[in-house]
Structure 1
Amino acid sequence: MPNTFLHYTYPDHIVRDANANKRALLDAGVPSRSQMQAIVADTARKMGVDPSLALAHAFTESSFNHASVSPANAIGTMQVIPSSGEWASDLVGRKLNLLDPEDNAVAGVAIIRQLQRTAGSLDIGVAAYYQGLGGVQRNGMKEDTKDYVAKVKNYMKRF
């Protein structure tokens, strides 16, 4: 895969890891998009998160395609990078495997839940999933983040 996404360029070692994760997902096989949609919705309900919010994030991130991996090494349906996966593991109290479809949903939903609890508003929480809470608080929303927030909020109406 290329080392750029939108206006970001990623170091070679990150792109190497992303390619390895993409190969692992393709080799293992992944659930269908409708199966992933159900996994995300079920996970959200179990974790006390509005399913429409979790589904909107997942649709915006990957269109429910668990084989998705970005040049930033954002993995799976919820497009969680490894460092965020470690944080999500801490949030839920167990080691999560981002390549595993159910664990990927747990990681994404745990992050959404934590951001919505701490961000102060729906928009800031959604933006923080994409840009990081610290970045949003320090710098405000970048233009691509504003677009992301608008997409997620629009897709929430669909789910």
Structure 2
Amino acid sequence: MSNYPPRHALGRIDVVTLEDLPALSRNVPLNLSNIRAGWPEFEHGFDSLKGRRMLGLLYGGRHVYRVCSVRVERDVDNPLDLDETTIPGGAYLRLRLRGDVPEVYGQIGEAFDVLFGQAEHDPTRPSIESYRREGEIDCLVPIVQQLE
């Protein structure tokens, strides 16, 4: 593609390569009300959110949404008895959303629709919502091969 990375009204689309990341997680049913309820419950279990990377993994074919925190040093014993998971690495298309909360959350579905229309996705890996900071979310779709 000569126009890569493409631009969209929501932002620039980039190809990024992620490493596998160990994480603590909990599954919730894949519907908006359960996801909204699942995040605060998951976050309140931690001693602090400082230094944590919070991600949502979407397993569309399995109708599962997994709330995750990348492991930090103080998680050695997993005192919350959360599920152990690995956030799979590899090539992803990324669209970074920026805006005011909660309006920016309303753009997540459209961002994934845009990304799925750009390249052949890898159905063996989840799509990822990476919450970088308040008002900034990376939407990532796993791709089969890197684009040039």
TM-score, normalised relative to structure 1: 0.27
**Larger Rg over CA atoms:** 2
More helix as a share of residues: 1
Higher relative contact order (CA 8 A, sep 6+): 2
Q: Which has the higher strand share?
A: 2
Give the structure-2-normalised TM-score. 0.28
